[in-house]
């Protein structure tokens, strides 16, 4: 039902009041044989309406993939981000220039191109899906940091742009924490500390330069979204709905 985006059928199964169901109802967090939950499947399809329906019936955004036939440990949020990276716009442009990052000028140019690309009208459904999942995902800042530490700039940009409101209003790396530190400050401090650790560590010179380059670019990215994120978010939300083909 999720793969067919059959909202009415899914609702009937989740409610469980149809006579044919004999009082049983579907478990919104049940894993299929491939290790995916319904929310993972809906995230892969960028079906915002299905995701909203599943959340209404207590689906958890914090269930991770498990099993021999799937990459383990993925949240629905990860599925949405990684699937966005497979979009032709992103594959043909965003990753093409990553290898050319070698100085501050190319860092700025790349970050500007990446942000521009992700703000195109055709990317709205992907960011809308990621945003919705991010609103229900615990430890959002930690998930963002994992991408940054891995040097995954495109994934970091997608998550930043889609969830900048949650990050800006985040009290700490946990949604339920009472710390009063803005999420962007948390990430910027982590990046700066990471760069210091790299410079004082024993990493091979070639690997060190690659990691420092990615970290410096990530720092620019986070700073850009922290400054312009609200305006960019309003612009992205203003796009008309475009059917995902």
Last residue of a domain, one of 74, 103, 129: 74
Same domain, 61 and 182: no
- Average pLDDT for 178-193: 84
- Average pLDDT for 110-121: 93
What total number of domains does the chain contain?
2
Same domain, 158 and 181: yes
CB 172: neighbour CB atoms within 10 A?
17
Per-residue confidence (pLDDT) for residue 156, from 0 to 100: 98
Cβ pair 229, 123 in contact under 8 A: no
- Average pLDDT for 51-60: 94
State pLDDT tens for residues 2-11: 666 667 777 7
Cβ pair 77, 158 in contact under 8 A: no
Same domain, 48 and 146: no
pLDDT of residue 245 exceeding 50: no
Per-residue confidence (pLDDT) for residue 157, from 0 to 100: 97
Contacts of 12 (CB under 8 A, 6+ apart): 18, 21
Last residue of a domain, one of 74, 101, 126: 74
Last residue of a domain, one of 58, 74, 90: 74
Per-residue confidence (pLDDT) for residue 217, from 0 to 100: 93
Same domain, 85 and 201: yes
Per-residue confidence (pLDDT) for residue 207, from 0 to 100: 81
Can you give the length of the chain in residues? 245
pLDDT of residue 228 exceeding 50: yes
State pLDDT tens for residues 121-153: 999 999 999 999 999 999 999 999 999 999 999
Mean pLDDT of the residues in the chain: 86
The pTM of the full predicted model, rounded to 2 decimals, is 0.88
Contacts of 148 (CB under 8 A, 6+ apart): 156, 187, 190, 191, 215, 218, 222
Whole-number Cα distances in Å, 135 to 18, 168, 190, 230: 31, 12, 22, 16
Same domain, 103 and 70: no
Same domain, 54 and 123: no
Same domain, 11 and 101: no
d(CA 121, CA 146): 28
d(CA 243, CA 245): 6
Per-residue confidence (pLDDT) for residue 99, from 0 to 100: 61
Per-residue confidence (pLDDT) for residue 236, from 0 to 100: 92
- Average pLDDT for 85-100: 80
Same domain, 84 and 62: no
Same domain, 143 and 206: yes
Per-residue confidence (pLDDT) for residue 93, from 0 to 100: 85
Instruction: Find, among 38, 26, 91, the residue nearest to 63 by Cα.
Output: 38
Same domain, 141 and 127: yes
Cβ pair 156, 114 in contact under 8 A: no
Q: H-helix or E-strand containing 151?
A: none
The CATH number given to whatever domain includes residue 23 is 1.25.40.20
d(CA 10, CA 56): 12
Same domain, 101 and 23: no
Same domain, 103 and 122: yes
d(CA 58, CA 40): 14
pLDDT of residue 173 exceeding 50: no
The residue segments making up the domain with residue 233 are: 77-245
């Amino acid at each position: 039902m999720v793969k067919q985006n059959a909202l009415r059928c899914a609702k009937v199964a989740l409610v469980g009041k149809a006579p044919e169901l004999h009082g049983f109802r579907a478990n919104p967090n049940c894993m299929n044989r491939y290790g995916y939950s319904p929310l993972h499947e809906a995230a892969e399809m960028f079906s915002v309406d299905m995701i909203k329906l599943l959340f209404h019936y207590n689906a958890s955004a914090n269930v991770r993939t498990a099993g021999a036939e799937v990459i383990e440990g993925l949240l629905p949020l990860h599925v949405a981000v990684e699937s966005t990276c497979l979009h032709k716009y992103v594959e043909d442009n965003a990753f093409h220039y990553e290898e050319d990052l070698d100085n501050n000028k190319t860092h700025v140019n790349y970050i500007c191109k990446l942000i521009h690309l992700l703000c195109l009208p055709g990317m709205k459904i992907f960011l809308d899906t990621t945003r919705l999942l991010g609103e229900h995902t615990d430890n959002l800042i930690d998930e963002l940091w994992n991408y940054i530490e891995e040097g995954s700039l495109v994934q970091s940009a997608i998550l930043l742009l889609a969830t900048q409101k949650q990050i800006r209003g985040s009290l700490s790396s946990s949604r339920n924490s009472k710390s009063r530190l803005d999420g962007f400050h948390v990430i910027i401090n982590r990046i700066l500390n990471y760069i210091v650790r790299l410079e004082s560590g024993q990493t091979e010179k070639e690997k060190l330069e690659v990691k420092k380059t990615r970290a410096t670019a990530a720092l620019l990215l986070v700073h850009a979204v922290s400054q312009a994120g609200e305006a960019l978010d309003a612009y992205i939300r203003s796009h008309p709905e475009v059917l995902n083909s």
